[in-house]
Homo-oligomer: A and B are copies of this chain.
């Protein structure tokens, strides 16, 4: 490995000069810089960033903690984050925690030891107190958590409002018996989306019926099972609002397999707006989150925060809440109840 010493020796200058020539920092003669750079190149010199980090205090690395990259929502989010980190010269560490609080907490201490500059935390199931302790001293941007923690920016979508819009749309179509397949019980977004469904129902004068609520798990198999459960209960329903798109996809598969035509017999609305929702059969009506933009925003906020800290502005930027808008995307999985025509044959 060739170091600044090698370059300095060969160039007949001090290592300080080499450092200056390479980093464009302080004043240095054009000629010296040129020679140093040339020699560095000749020697195949490559700076050692860990040494640089040790003195410079920054690793130019941030981490993204999320529950499960396998849900198509997250890759899109990761991509949003990554476009920004690439653009602003940072590297991205990825950590999975499968909604396991212990694992997330443990990752946080590992990351701090690694001296990451900051963390984006998709805080599905984390409890506030323990998290606040584990993240102490680490710049953090939280995603999808209802309540922002002290000194922590939050970026999210208004899940409750989105769920309300979905349900209102079904109501506007004439549906009265609207079932809901929930997400995993421990997640805050599960509660928010369910609350939005209830809001719309109540506002329309139809108090939510407990029997229309079926548990899901944000995965296809949960949607499948929920559909079976719904049929087994032998209750009346003409529409289903599922807590996310993957659940809707499982539900659609189950309905197809049981010969229940969507949307003729039952309408289905999802949540998230993953790319795949445009390619199901029928295509899926859903509450679309600006997933990519959420990722970008979170990364930008974190990096802004780091720059502000470095610039030592008077005060650290006050924690802010960034709520992006959802959009109801209407496709072919929804129709007026009891519509007789069959679409695809």
Contacts and interface: CB of A to CB of B under 8 A. Distances in A.
B279 A253 contact: yes
Interface in A303-345: 342, 344-345
Interface in A277-298: 278-283
A278 B220 contact: yes
Given A72-B75, A253-B279, 9 more contacts: A46-B113, A50-B59, A70-B72, A72-B72, A91-B110, A91-B111, A220-B276, A253-B278, A256-B344
A255 B72 CA distance: 24
Given A220-B278, A250-B279, A275-B220, A115 B48 contact: yes
- Taking residues whose C-beta sits less than 8 angstroms from the other chain, chain A's interface range is 35 or more
B79 A46 contact: no
B276 A276 contact: yes
A70 B95 CA distance: 17
A331 B331 CA distance: 26
A215 interface: no
Interface in A89-123: 91-96, 109-115
A280 B174 CA distance: 28
How many copies of the shown chain assemble into the complex?
2
A256 B331 CA distance: 14
A61 B86 CA distance: 18
Contacts of A49: 113-115
A198 interface: no
A212 to B, nearest CB: 23
Interface string A72-85: 10111011001000
Interface of A: 46-51, 53-54, 59, 61, 68-70, 72, 74-76, 78-79, 82, 86, 91-96, 109-115, 220, 224, 249-250, 252-253, 256-257, 259, 261, 275-276, 278-283, 342, 344-345
A75 B261 CA distance: 32
Contact of A93 (B48, B51, B92, B275): B92
Contact of A344 (B51, B82, B259): B259
Given A54-B51, A115-B50, A69 B59 contact: no
B261 A345 contact: yes
Contacts of A69: 69, 75, 78-79, 82
Contacts of A282: 256
11 contacts: A48-B113, A50-B53, A50-B114, A51-B54, A68-B79, A70-B275, A250-B279, A252-B281, A253-B283, A280-B280, A281-B281
A53 B112 CA distance: 14
Contacts of A76: 70
A75 to B, nearest CB: 4
Contacts of A111: 91
Nearest to A137: B1
Contacts of A94: 78, 82, 92-94
